[in-house]
Amino acid sequence: MFPVFGLPSRPSRIMKIPANASAPMMRTKATPIRYFMGTDYSTRTLAAIVLVATVLGMGITARLGMWQLSRAAQKQALQTALDERGHLAPLDDATLARTAPEAEAQHYRPVRLQGEWRTAATVFLDNRQMNGRPGFFVVTPLVLPGGDAVLVQRGWAPRDMADRTRVPSVPTPAGRVEVRGLIAPPPARLFDFAGGVPGTIRQNLDLAAFAKEVGVTLRPLSVQQLDEPADGLSRHWPAPAVDIHKHYGYAFQWFAMCALMAGLYVWFQLLRPRLRRRA
């Protein structure tokens, strides 16, 4: 080829020289960037995130475990108080609670009351169990000398499996009687499909509504009768107890999760990488 305007006839050799000279410079400049944004930086960031998450998870689970232990201690103190109440002197109608806070403080204390049964107001609470058998709780108001009344859980009667609407005949003496028992909360409420239909057989009993129904003022509590079962009713009431063991179980689960997170972190973040490097 002929030269044009005095330029050499082989321009390709001029083009290759600066390109080959600049290549090492580009590789040299890219090395620090690749070190800063590459694998080492990402690994350190991930390790820090794992460490923070592990410490946070261990702190939360350990705190929850301690909270469950404190709940167990509170219920243990409550159980001790309930056991001590059972050995106190019996209360009478004059010292029996008239308000809900007073009644809660008297739960499971012995009581000895005198009064007259409101026999016509006897109710059979359905789907109640005693010793694993289905039947009724028989409850009857006991009218006290002052004119008000207390709901007495007189005992348990078995169900007639042939006729669900038949209730057992419970002998109820007339006139003044003496009832010995333990102060207890009103009977526990069960799920009611019928929506609280009144009658002799019921699923639940609301004290306020029942007081209006029978026309007598009821104390905000009930009494579990403990007299000898001359009326044929069973009175094997369960001992008052609070569920303490479940809190110990929950605490064990939380502490186990805390220990598991610590063990996984030590293995995957500390021991396993060292074993790989030695191998």
pLDDT of residue 94: 94
The pLDDT value given to residue 68: 97
- Which residues 6+ apart lie within 8 Å of 201 measured at CB? 123, 124, 126, 136, 165, 167
Dump pLDDT digits (tens) for 201-240.
999 999 999 999 999 999 999 999 998 877 889 999 988 8
pTM of the model: 0.69
- pLDDT < 50 stretches in the chain: 1-9, 11-17, 19, 21-38
Sign of the CA dihedral running 22, 23, 27, 28: negative
Within 8 A by CB and 6+ apart from 91, the residues are 106, 109, 110, 111, 112, 183
Instruction: Determine the pLDDT at residue 241.
Output: 81
| C-alpha to C-alpha distance for 205 and 107, rounded to whole angstroms | 19
Residue matched to tokens 């016509």: 120
**Cβ-proximal residues to 144 (8 Å cutoff; 6+ apart), any chain:** 93, 96, 113, 114, 115, 150
